Amino acid sequence: MIDHNEYIDKVRADFTKGTLGETDVLADPSEQFEAWLKQAVESEVPELQAMNLATVYDNRPSSRIVYLRKIHNHKFWWYGNYDSKKGQSLEQNPNASLNFFWPELQRQVRIEGVVKKATDDNSDNYFNSRPLESKLGAWASAQSYRLTSRKELEDKLEQLHKQFEGKEIPRPPHWGGWVLKANYYEFWQGRPSRLHDRICYEQQGETWNIFRLAP
């Protein structure tokens, strides 16, 4: 039988796939992120759009994986249920953090900023592009609320199939997008002996200050 604690304690991997210096990065962190994202696409990194979204509610942190769906001019979009735990957290405290981890490239990107709800038009357009089952799922799930059983959810989905049969499915009022406007970026490149490269951008007015952090 595997001793999981012993295994975890002994796992070691060196990081040798790249370097990152202050002169290597672009002046605009949004462009630097898109350059790294392009390299992740070209390297066929699986689930490269997955990002850890961290929020705080009543001084209690919470995190979950969500999918990035759009980026533009330091803005990052994702979608979900406004009544969920993340939705309630962002309503109370709009400060949030994103973390992308691409182990195949031995890279991470941390992004901090302030979150707002996406416009209705943006949310409608994205919802209308979703597959049928995903649209029905948005109606069926009271996300983050307790269920008595899996059957409760399945029965609700079956009811919705009948309700919307042959009809256009509108976006639920409790479902839509969020947009994080970044004010801080950290690009992390793994290096040998845990002496990793950490190049950061901090917004100061209309400019971005670039600096290095100790690993």
Which residues have a catalytic role annotated? 194
Are 35 and 189 contacting, i.e. CB atoms less than 8 angstroms apart?
no
Helices (H), the chain: 4-10, 29-42, 85-92, 120-128, 132-140, 150-163
CA quadruple 120, 50, 145, 152: dihedral positive or negative? Answer: positive
Are 109 and 180 contacting, i.e. CB atoms less than 8 angstroms apart?
no
Q: Label the pairing between strands 107-117 and 175-189.
A: antiparallel
Integer distance in angstroms from the first to the last C-alpha of the chain? 36
Whole-angstrom Cα Rg for the chain: 20
Give, as one character, the DSSP assignment of residue 77: E
Are 94 and 113 contacting, i.e. CB atoms less than 8 angstroms apart?
no
Give, as one character, the DSSP assignment of residue 194: G
